[in-house]
Amino acid sequence: MRKNKVFWFSGSGNSLALAKEIAKSLGESDLIRMTTKNFNYKLEEDFEDVYFIFPIHAWRPPRLVVDFVETMNFSNAKNIYAFATSGGAISDSFYYFDKILGKKGLSLSLAKSIKMPDNCIYLYNPPLDSPKNKEIIDNVDLYLSSSLDLSATQPPYQRASKISAMFLTGLVGSFFYKSLKNFDKKFFATDACTSCGICTRICPSYNILLDENRRPNWKGTCTACMACVHLCPEKAINYTNKTMKRSRYICPSVKIKEFLL
């Protein structure tokens, strides 16, 4: 039986839920979270197929996912697959990801996206009560299993239009990556914070520490996954005052403990 590695990155659980569904459908698979501490990951010789599961950030793969792949050693992989969750259009995200692989002499065998509830809380209040999103949220396991298609296609993914690729994945995506340097300066914790420390254990960048008053302190290496906002049990963490009245979201088929590092 062919062995598989399923690498996942998620801030609200959508991509984790998809990764779990993919691992379940494949059979013999290892589920591995992509974090800064497992950069330079080396794929064992007896693993053949590699899957990358991630959300779309500003019409690109998350910056941490790109960094993970760029440092990873997986030249012995037989096939490389990418599955993305997104609340909207993904533009040329897969082509961008494929170019990252190309630098290592590799290429995508298949890439597909699956619509999931949009939860970009720092830009707007997630439309979680829309009929379509409620249908997905109420039946997420059935939705993912019925949406998942691992059959090969030619080409392995669809390219975006030249205008979309240039403006969204190109210009906007580039601006977003550059903005990450100062992104976490706008996080803060309200008095609802209980100093539980969960935020320090779910951050894939290991970017959060508790200060001398046992309040969260962000160190400047944020990748904008928003896990600290969505998964805070007390809803104490915010990104500017705008998020204070916005809905938090965690995919119903995952639990906070699955994020703990």
> Same structural domain for residues 127 and 253?
no
What local confidence, expressed as pLDDT, does residue 129 receive?
86
Angle at 161 between CA 136 and CA 6, to 5 degrees: 45
> Same structural domain for residues 252 and 127?
no
- How far is Cα 172 from Cα 101, in angstroms, rounded to an integer? 21
> Same structural domain for residues 207 and 167?
no
- How far is Cα 180 from Cα 172, in angstroms, rounded to an integer? 13
> Same structural domain for residues 31 and 152?
yes
Q: What are the C-alpha distances in Å from 202 to residues 99, 196, 229, 255?
A: 29, 12, 11, 12
Q: Tell me which of 155, 175, 195 is where a domain ends.
A: 175
> Same structural domain for residues 131 and 252?
no
Give the confidence band of 77 by pLDDT, cuts at 50, 70, 90. Answer: confident
Q: What is the pLDDT of residues 49-65, one digit of tens each?
A: 999 999 999 999 999 99
- How many folded domains does the chain comprise? 2
Q: Tell me which of 143, 175, 207 is where a domain ends.
A: 175
- How far is Cα 6 from Cα 65, in angstroms, rounded to an integer? 13
Give the confidence band of 154 by pLDDT, cuts at 50, 70, 90. Answer: confident
Q: Is the predicted pLDDT of residue 44 greater than 90, yes or no?
A: no
Of the chain, the percentage scoring pLDDT greater than 90 comes to: 80
Q: What is the extent of the structural domain holding 133?
A: 4-175
Instruction: Tell me which DSSP letter residue 150 carries.
Output: -
> Same structural domain for residues 106 and 157?
yes
Q: What is the pLDDT of residues 202-253, one digit of tens each?
A: 999 999 999 999 999 999 999 999 999 999 999 999 999 999 999 999 999 9
Q: What is the pLDDT of residues 163-181, one digit of tens each?
A: 999 999 999 999 999 999 9
> Same structural domain for residues 53 and 94?
yes
> Same structural domain for residues 149 and 249?
no
> Same structural domain for residues 170 and 190?
no
Stated as kind and residue range, the H or E segment containing 177 is helix 173-179
> Same structural domain for residues 119 and 171?
yes
As a whole number, the mean pLDDT across the chain is 94
Which of 5, 159, 18 minimizes the C-alpha distance to 69?
Answer: 5
Question: Range with the lowest mean pLDDT among 16-30, 37-51, 62-76, 178-192?
Answer: 37-51
Q: Tell me which of 131, 154, 175 is where a domain ends.
A: 175
> Same structural domain for residues 98 and 192?
no
Q: Is the predicted pLDDT of residue 48 greater than 80, yes or no?
A: no
> Same structural domain for residues 169 and 203?
no
